[in-house]
Structure 1
Amino acid sequence: MDITSKPSNDSFKHPKGLYVLFTAEMWERFSYYGMRAILILFMTTDVAYEGLGLTTETAGAVYGLYTASVYLMTLPGGWLADNIFGQRKAVFYGGVLIMIGHLILAIPGSPIIFFTGLAFVALGTGLLKGNISTLVGELYSKDSGAKRDAGFSIFYMGINLGSFLGQIFVPLLAEYNWHLGFGLAAVGMLFGLIAFKVYSPKYLADIGVEPKVKSAGVEKTSSNTSISILIIAIVLISLFLLQFLGYIDVTTATGIAQALGLIIVLITMGYFINILFNGGLNTIEKKQVGVIFILFVGIAIFWSGFEQAASSLNLFARDFTDRFIGGWEMPAGMLQSVNSAFIIIFAPIIGALWVKLAARNINIRTPLKFAVGLILLGAGFWVMVGAANVAASGTKAGMFALILTYFLHSIGELTISPVGLSATSKLSPAKYLGQMMGIWFVGAALGNLIAGLIGGNFDPENVLEMPNIFLNVVWVSVGAGIIFLVAGPFIKKWMGDVN
């Protein structure tokens, strides 16, 4: 019998390479999120209890700088993969740097050792994160539609399985010794490296071996020097003026974080302008790159609220939440695993939903999914406004408030993050694919930076201000969701046939 007579048998099957990438990313996220769950808690713990003893404001700024750098580094990581290494080598080299970083964090010592470890993790993640997502996209043809989205949802489930396990075991071990927790994160990354090295030659074939520029059959082009100089000049002049006028102070961690936020915005805008006018794109490609910029703004807003899970919400869990189960008090960092648990449960359901709706010719386009995700983010923080009011009255809030918030955020995440990743991979011009995936994570960098700065405003001594902090996030996220709803038809027109 001709095998082409049975196409339906493969309609829900995915390439085996997906599960290789699933496993590698699962262990990388075990290391990253496990460490992140204890990061701000370690930094704000008194030196007498083997913490760093930083103020909440400084710790929040450092947290924002670190998590922003993790994702910001994906842009040069994408360029290196596109032009020099290829995605496969970039992922492996990145994993090695991440493991070294966590091993450094496991060494007790001065803050210099600690910050060196963070730098290694940030550099390694910059090489790995965007490029492993690019490999997932390369497993599918651009016209695979909902199946491609489902593949990214499965991949996303692997991310959250690793995150769930990391945020359970790393905080538990850190209860006995902070540095044992950091060391466990290194072990997780080692497992990911082994899985990727052993199975990728068999199941990924030649995907990601050659740099994109070479495999696309185009010559490497030198960067436009004048544009680069102009962008750098604008950034430096802007920083000088803001420092001179007293709006920022780059001698403090908070000032550096604010300056980095400005740098991210200006460089990203300059990058898009350069690509649009000097990137050799046709009209359709320019419109699709414009959509990527709009999605960049949306994801930055989403992560600025969502990533407060490890900053303001983590501090709220430690200081203002009743975490007792019977006679045992759950470590505050373990509550971070709730989000991952919800993703594990609902990722396959949401992924299957997109496929089934598409089979009935009901295609929910990306702008609507973004709108839903942003509004759900706001709904979660509306719950936290109520919990903060309880804490302001002098009573610890129950864990249910945080659990409900994480549930709403998790469903919102599923309607935005894997869908946005998939859309970016489909909208990107071939020769800029790695860089555009990097830009997607630069949006995450900006959001993480803002989340850290907001977390730095979380003052345990000023409980009455907490409801207003959370309420501001509600207005911004819901407002952004409404804008995506209204602008949806315009965005869909520029996306063309891409869902």
Structure 2
Amino acid sequence: MSSEKTFLGHPRGLATLFFTEMWERFSYYGMRAILILFMTTETAQQGLGLDVETSAAVYGLYTAAVYLLSLPGGWLADNIFGQQKSIWYGGILIMIGHLVLAIPGHQEIFFTGLAFVAIGTGFLKPNISSIVGDLYGDDKGARRDAGFSIFYMGINIGSLLGQTVVSFLGEKVDWHMGFGAAAVGMFLGLVQYKLTQGTLKGIGEKPQKRVKLPGERTSNTFTYLLTVGAIALIFALQYFGVVDVTTATGIAKSVGVLIVVITLAYFANIFIAGGLDVKERKQVFVIFLLFIGAAIFWAGFEQAGSTLNLFSRDYTDRFIFGYELPAGLLQNFNPFFIIVLSPVFGALWIRLSAKGLNPNTPVKFGLGLISMAFGFLIMYFAALIAAQGAKAGMGWLIFTYLFHTAGELTLSPVGLSATTKLAPRKYYSQMMGIWFVATALGNLIAGLFAGGFDPENASEVPNLFMSVVMLGTGAGIMFLIFSGFMRKWMGDVK
């Protein structure tokens, strides 16, 4: 038996990646907890002084960009920098971005800081996850799954710490001190990454261009034509007055149109000219349906940092023993519930599987969407209280986050796993990218949706939340209804 030191029974490199990701998530979620609050606070109170619609659009663009930029971030790692350097460069860019945000100044400084953070996260996020998998080589069994579970725990610990520290400093002391704390968190992550980088043993140190698979197409003609066509569409929408790219909301809507059009055209191209057999076409169509379900789910779930955060600030009684808690602090219940419920859900699926009762992927998607919708149903009743001129108790938000977390645990890991199993081998990396695009689209929709939140008119909030209830419930029911044919088209994939 090897005497080599391990981290909780796993390769020591997992500890390096665990703490790097923990501090990166500390900075990301910490800053996200105060982002829309800072933008909508009046300049007299050291905020940015933007209206809710503009702030929500900026929030949506930023959170969407984080995931979209992971696609070029992964490509640059594979072809130019290697994964280890991409993580290092990404962390530096993230730290610089938070330092820029910590500088009091005009909107230009603020948006520059957001751009640095988004680009840096695009470098770091996909590549650190890839190295986690590479630590286990050809071992695709339970040990690898357990390693990812530990890594995922680091994400949630970082989120819990970041949203606590940054919320308190940002809301109770100084907004820019909160952004500065996020920079310190990323700095600590960089220091420990550099000090312990040797434990990765050269994994991801050099770019590794993927070997071309038999029958794989390498022509970029379709990509170029699609890009030009999508840009032309935006110009046409601008010309006919459908969107206005001179405003943040217009830009966000335009990006949403681009994502939808490019995704639809991409899948159409795969079906028509992708060289797939009948079975592969059916499985890719299932991926397309999962993409739609995931985008709808994230459109509701990711309102934690926008609509629900504004509700926490404006319509929630946050006093405990005479002290008012920071509004962003309530977002901590999601990572807290993740930490508590992850082993519960893991044990539940295993027990159900042993009895032959484990729900298939489409059913889990349906349940996840309905759970998200139920969370907003709770918020609908909380909003009715606010509409009567009173403040809702914190319990409404806490139970909402409980159901949202249950939905996340039911849908997110299952969807990611199903995509890896259903994707045709020659389009494997592209299909994994599609999963990031679904998350990006959901974040963008969440931001645009929050633009309808009016802090001065509480009577409109119940209908706002009810629209999410209807969307999530409707989508969830559709997945349950069509789970039979989807399961059949998935073939031998569970």
Q: Could you tell me which runs of 5 or more consecutive residues in structure 2 were left unpaired when the two chains were aligned.
A: 2-7
Shift of 1:467: 0.5
- Asked if 1:305 corresponds to 2:300, the answer is yes
For the residues of structure 2 that align with 1:142 and 1:262, how far apart are their CA atoms?
Answer: 40
| Structure 1 contact 82–435 (Cα < 8 Å) conserved | no
Q: Which amino acid aligns with 1:27?
A: W
Partner of 2:445 in structure 1?
A: 450
TM-score (norm 2): 0.90
Shift of 1:248: 1.4
TM-score (norm 1): 0.89
Tell me: CA distance 1:479–1:390, structure 2 relative to 1, closer, same or farther (3 Å). Answer: same
For the residues of structure 2 that align with 1:253 and 1:30, how far apart are their CA atoms?
Answer: 27
Tell me: CA distance 1:257–1:482, structure 2 relative to 1, closer, same or farther (3 Å). Answer: same
| Structure 1 contact 76–438 (Cα < 8 Å) conserved | no
| Structure 1 contact 130–434 (Cα < 8 Å) conserved | no
Q: Which amino acid aligns with 1:25?
A: E
For the residues of structure 2 that align with 1:208 and 1:488, how far apart are their CA atoms?
Answer: 39
Q: Which amino acid aligns with 1:425?
A: T
Tell me the number of residue pairs that the alignment of Structure 1 and Structure 2 aligns. Answer: 487
Deviations 1:222-261 (A, max 9, x none): 5422x12321233133223322332211111111111110
Shift of 1:276: 4.8
Partner of 1:126 in structure 2?
A: 122
Shift of 1:282: 5.6
For the residues of structure 2 that align with 1:339 and 1:107, how far apart are their CA atoms?
Answer: 30
| Structure 1 contact 78–437 (Cα < 8 Å) conserved | no
Q: Could you tell me which runs of 5 or more consecutive residues in structure 1 were left unpaired when the two chains were aligned.
A: 4-11
Partner of 2:186 in structure 1?
A: 189
For the residues of structure 2 that align with 1:301 and 1:224, how far apart are their CA atoms?
Answer: 30
Partner of 2:370 in structure 1?
A: 375
Aligned runs of 1:254-333 on 2, under 5 Å?
254-277=249-272, 284-333=279-328
Deviations 1:19-43 (A, max 9, x none): 4433222211111000000000100
Tell me: CA distance 1:167–1:466, structure 2 relative to 1, closer, same or farther (3 Å). Answer: same
Choose the corresponding residue for 2:103, options 94, 101, 107: 107
Tell me: CA distance 1:122–1:342, structure 2 relative to 1, closer, same or farther (3 Å). Answer: same
For the residues of structure 2 that align with 1:152 and 1:251, how far apart are their CA atoms?
Answer: 43
For the residues of structure 1 that align with 2:84 and 2:284, how far apart are their CA atoms?
Answer: 25
Choose the corresponding residue for 1:400, options 395, 399, 417: 395
Tell me: CA distance 1:207–1:417, structure 2 relative to 1, closer, same or farther (3 Å). Answer: farther
Partner of 1:492 in structure 2?
A: 487
Tell me: CA distance 1:462–1:91, structure 2 relative to 1, closer, same or farther (3 Å). Answer: same
For the residues of structure 1 that align with 2:237 and 2:33, how far apart are their CA atoms?
Answer: 33
- Asked if 1:479 corresponds to 2:474, the answer is yes
Deviations 1:144-175 (A, max 9, x none): 47766555444332211111110000011112
Tell me: CA distance 1:184–1:426, structure 2 relative to 1, closer, same or farther (3 Å). Answer: farther
For the residues of structure 2 that align with 1:281 and 1:357, how far apart are their CA atoms?
Answer: 34
For the residues of structure 2 that align with 1:384 and 1:437, how far apart are their CA atoms?
Answer: 33
Shift of 1:192: 2.5
Choose the corresponding residue for 1:440, options 430, 435, 441: 435
- Asked if 1:411 corresponds to 2:406, the answer is yes
| Structure 2 contact 373–468 (Cα < 8 Å) conserved | yes
Aligned runs of 1:345-384 on 2, under 5 Å?
345-358=340-353, 362-384=357-379
CA RMSD of aligned residues (A): 2.8
Partner of 1:336 in structure 2?
A: 331
Deviations 1:38-76 (A, max 9, x none): 000100111111111000111111111111111111222
Deviations 1:73-122 (A, max 9, x none): 12222322343334333333222221111111111211111101100111
| Structure 2 contact 216–426 (Cα < 8 Å) conserved | no
For the residues of structure 2 that align with 1:35 and 1:234, how far apart are their CA atoms?
Answer: 36
Tell me: CA distance 1:429–1:162, structure 2 relative to 1, closer, same or farther (3 Å). Answer: farther
| Structure 2 contact 213–426 (Cα < 8 Å) conserved | no
Q: Which amino acid aligns with 2:400?
A: T
